[in-house]
Amino acid sequence: MILVVGPGAVGGVLAARWAAAGKAVMLLGRTAAEETRLTRQGLSYAGADGRRRAVPRRLRSARRLGAAACEAAFFCVKSYDTAAAARAARRWIGPDTAVVALQNGVGHERVLRRAFGARRVVVGSCYFAADRPEPYHVTHTWGNDVLLAANQRNRESLAAAQRFLMEGGWHVHLKRSEERMLWTKLCFNAATNPLGALCAVTNSRLAEDPALREIMVKTLMEAVAVARKAGKQPLYSRMETLVVRACLNAPVQRNSMLQDLQEGRRTEIGAIAGPLLRAGRSLGVETPLLDKLSRLVRRMERP
């Protein structure tokens, strides 16, 4: 049994693909009522072809099933919700459960290790476009790659995480440096998420519009400069090419920060821009664009 902690856009896409592959999936939402509504209503899923499909009825409410250790728990919650999610999920996490973090930002990995121990925790980064345009509908329009960080302590959990993801049809890439993996995605998100959210445009528009593309690339260069100065060299030398190509390949994707703003939720600007801004100040690396974008996003958030 797989437990998805946070059945939003990313969690919903993961759950839908596992259900389609014949896996039994438990969903742990914020409340029992949320889980019940989702499992009773059912979930629909659309891939790159845009065709909506009903997800097979293999999704179950974790709270209704009761406490039973699962084989793997995939955390897909907002970074700032990690501690609360870990407390809520504890009853389903046994001594051999793989705990997999597929979240934005940095810092959540430390929370999960404190809660469950280094041996069980696997930290990852997703490179695919997930959206939840309607309450019971998720879309996956681009990308099929998931990165997982390997180390000496988490070998068994890593093997389990890799196996489950591959059974869901994902391309899994193992990375030796967790910090570099996380900060690579941090730079990617810092360049695209705040700008796309503030302008209310899809990812492809960021790359197609000359002015937006210039701002995006300059923000990316600020983030990369901070990461390098901090000793967290991004995994890829041509970050500009990676980011622009990813944006162009996701023509209808609303990034997660835009989804949050449009739906009145708190964003992850603190978890994404915060580490870069703090490191930039302490290391003497200027980040004027990222600082301005971060301030504007915070103003846009609803109280």
pLDDT one-digit tens code per residue, 202-252 = 999 999 999 999 999 999 999 999 999 999 999 999 999 999 999 999 888
Ordered by where they begin, the domains of the chain are 2-176 (3.40.50.720), 180-300 (1.10.1040.10)
Q: Is the pLDDT of residue 182 over 80?
A: yes
The reported pLDDT for the residue numbered 48 is: 81
120 Cβ contact partners less than 8 Å away, ≥ 6 residues apart: 93, 96, 97, 98, 99, 154, 157
Nearest residue to 229 via CA among 287, 296, 146 = 287
At 160, list the tokens: 């389990």
Helix axes 239-248, 210-229, angle to 10 degrees: 140
Query: In this model, does residue 61 exceed pLDDT 80?
Result: yes
Out of 36-40, 160-164, 179-183, 288-292, pick the least confident: 36-40
Quick one: DSSP state of residue 302? -
Q: What are the DSSP E strand ranges found in the chain?
A: 2-5, 25-28, 44-46, 52-54, 59-61, 72-75, 98-102, 121-134, 137-149, 171-175
Q: List the end-to-end C-alpha distance of the chain, in Å, as a whole number.
A: 38
Q: For residues 73-87, give the mean pLDDT.
A: 97
What are the two backbone dihedrals, phi and then psi, of residue 122, each rounded to the nearest 5 degrees? -125, 125
Distance between CA atoms of residues 32 and 66, nearest Å: 11
pLDDT at 66: 79
**pLDDT of 303 over the 70 cut:** no
Least confident stretch, 63-72, 155-164, 181-190, 228-237: 63-72
